Structure formats: structure tokens, C-alpha cells
Chains A and B, each alone.
Chain A
């Protein structure tokens, strides 16, 4: 998305004849255009009332302000600018909006007797079936397919019709049998077209790789054979999918995992915004 946006920007700058767009965009484009930023900054500063009375050189010289009367002091020794203040206010609004659209405070349940463990952005679903332990691990970082953003940009439908962000993380299924020292590990993912539009013709989830790893080892053993499913016999692939389904990892599970991951990702996002607000505001 970023690259396409940059491309649009560059081509707009290159081809627009009297360049009104360039004039509009220029302040934000380069450090050399700082002078163009200043009137705006000053305008805000004057609006806030702190620059009242004089256009003294100290005001013009320092767009950054240390803790003064108009800003809360906190004794942190850090910078507190008008930008920080605006940023903090923006974050407060954003947090409020995000909390409004948060569906439920509690996390959605995954059916089938799974126990959930959360460690930051990493989540683990664990269940035991007849002497076997099945663990599904996923991380919500970078789990929102970029196509959602592109779609919303192209669609220009406005806030009401904005597509909901959905988290579709890669996930790892580990199956451990009691009497063996090896764990069968499946590296699974949500295929691209399904992730992008939800109406594609890919399976809801697919297996990318399968390998054996020593049970209990946290380190990935690179020397273990890795079965890549790209060129796999389809019949074998179907048996692997059925094997997972028998252990509760089927389409329904994958669908519920998306809901759980989306909710977790949203929680983490709100938490991040709150931390960011605290950091910026420093209080």
C-alpha cells in the first residue's frame, strides 16, 4: 500500500502542470520545506494563547517547547511539544473509538475443549485427547492481510462501509504422543485469496510444511526433514488434513481462530495506543 501511495504521490508531483498539489504536499515532503510548516505551527501556538503578546525571537526559534505553563509538567526531562499534545489528544480519541468498536471485552471461545494461554502477542491453544497433546501456537503481530487496507483505500466507501480488519495469523500445530520423543509439527496458514476477499477458491486454511521435532525442545531443529506441501501428492495432503481434523483442527477451528486472533490483535492494538499515549503525554 505504501509503495502504491508513494508512486501516486511521485507521479502527481511529476505531471501536474501548475502544481497546486505539490504546493499542498510540499510542507510534508522534505526537511527543506520547514519554513512552510512554521506558519501553521505558529498559528496553533498562537491559538493556544501561549505566544500572546510578542513575536519574539525565542518563539520563532523554538518550535519545540519544554514543559511550560500551558503544558502539564511531569518532571520527566523529556520534550513536550504542541505536536505531542495534539498527538496525545488524537490518541485519546482513537482509543475511545477503538473501544467503541470492540465487540466484547471477553475473548471469543474456541470450541472443542481448548485451553488458552497468552504471552503478549503470542497465544497458545492446548488440548489433550487420549494420550496425545495438541498445541496450536500463533502470533498476532503482522497478522492482518494488507489487502484489506488496499481495498478500503480503493473503495473510498467512507467510514460506515469500511471493511472490518481481520487477523489471519500463520499457526503451528504440534501433535505429541505420550510414548514418542518426537512431535509432529504442521506449519499452517490462511491462503492469500481467502485472506484478501473471503470469497476465493482456496481452502480456509492449508498446511505449508510438516516436520518432526524433538519433543520438549524449544529450538527448531534445522536438520529435521521438512515436508513441503507445494509439490506433495494430493492424496497424502488430504490424509494430513484429515489427521488434523481428527484432532480438532478443521475449518471450524480455523474460522474460530480468526475470531480469536482478531479480538486479541485488537486488544493488543488498544493496549499499544494506551501505552503510546502514556509515553507521549508522559504522565
Chain B
């Protein structure tokens, strides 16, 4: 089904083809290719507006997800009755926010953006991290190695272990995993720790 990309901002120049390829890879790995998905790239101003409107947080952020299916159990793919309802929902990517973080951490913009989008897709699939308990409880189990083979291409300029780090960071991982990430890539962890930590009550 359709992956709709929208670029609503002028701050960060985007390569749409690269973003689409990475997003298609993610959809393939997560087994959700038959569902529609919207990925909307916005600047700090717009994502701050949405963040405030829907989450009452008046600050820019990296990603916000809006599932099409409400109350989806984590890990269960939606089984709609009508073909039109084969829709996961929309992910808003704060590309300006992500870019700024990447500049600070000297990280690759497109790979981080893909990881951030993967985080957003996990939310669309029902995974949450509103509390630490929930964070620990919801663990995604899918074939990491399969993901590695798809994502690690020379054109992405990232090494397999980096991808693994990104993946572990994006998944609701155990503390042990976090330690692994730290030992491999401090930058990666420091960036993701703030994003993937359980939400403050």
C-alpha cells in the first residue's frame, strides 16, 4: 500500500528518494507493507505546535505519531474489515530538530531520521513508553539481522554495529542493551537516551 511522504518545511533540504527508500525498508522489515503510512516532515515551529496541541508539551521534538487504529495492542497488527482501513496512521518528523541534534552529535542525518521514524512506527503499532513498566513490558521482537541486511548498504554510510546500536536504541530495550550501546557509540546513546526514556509522569 501507499507510503505518502510530505515535506512541509523549508529549513532543511531533504532528499525525498533517500527518505522513501529507508522508510520502505522499515515497512518491509516490520511486515507492514500492506498498510498505508504517512510521513510528514516539519520544522521546529510546526512540531512544537502539534506537540502542544496534542500532548500539551510546548517544545519541539523529533517525532510524533498519530495511529489510525486506536487502542491497538502492542505487537498486534491491525486487521481491519475494509480495505480502506489498512492504514497505520501518520508520523510527523521534526526534521529541523533531528538535524540540529545530528549536528551536535556529529551523527548521520538520514540514518538518524530513519531510526526516529522507526520509533514513530513502533508507536503506530501500539508500543508505548508512558511509564517505565510499560517501557519494559513492550518489547518488539522482530528479526534484527533481517533489518541489518536490508538497511546496511554502502550508500547509507553506516556500519552494521552502528545500525545495531540505532536499532537497540529505537526498540524499548533493556538496560543491558543500553550499556552495549554506550560501549559502542556514546553519541548514539546520548542522543537517544533523552528521546527513548520513559515519559515523565
Residues of chain A touching chain B, judged by Cβ–Cβ distance below 8 Å, are 201-204, 234-235, 238-239, 241-242, 245, 250-252, 254-255
Contacts and interface: CB of A to CB of B under 8 A. Distances in A.
B5 A234 contact: yes
Interface string B1-38: 01111111110010111011100100000000000001
Contact of A242 (B3, B4, B9, B16): B16
A242 B7 contact: no
A245 B18 CA distance: 13
B8 A201 contact: yes
Size range of the chain B interface in the assembly: 10 to 19
B40 interface: yes
Interface secondary structure of A, over-half rule? helix
Given A234-B3, A250-B13, A204 B20 contact: no
Nearest to A237: B16
A28 B61 CA distance: 56
B6 A203 contact: yes
A203 B8 contact: yes
**Which 3 A/B pairs are nearest by Cβ-Cβ distance?**
A238-B16, A251-B10, A238-B17
Nearest to B38: A201
B8 A204 contact: yes
A200 to B, nearest CB: 8
A234 B4 contact: yes
A238 B7 CA distance: 11
A122 B67 CA distance: 45
Contacts of A245: 13, 15
A255 B10 contact: yes
A203 B17 contact: no
A108 to B, nearest CB: 15
B83 to A, nearest CB: 18
A254 B9 CA distance: 11
A202 B3 CA distance: 14
A7 to B, nearest CB: 33
Contact of B10 (A204, A235, A241): A204
B17 to A, nearest CB: 5
A109 to B, nearest CB: 15
Nearest to A256: B10
B13 A235 contact: no
A201 B16 CA distance: 16
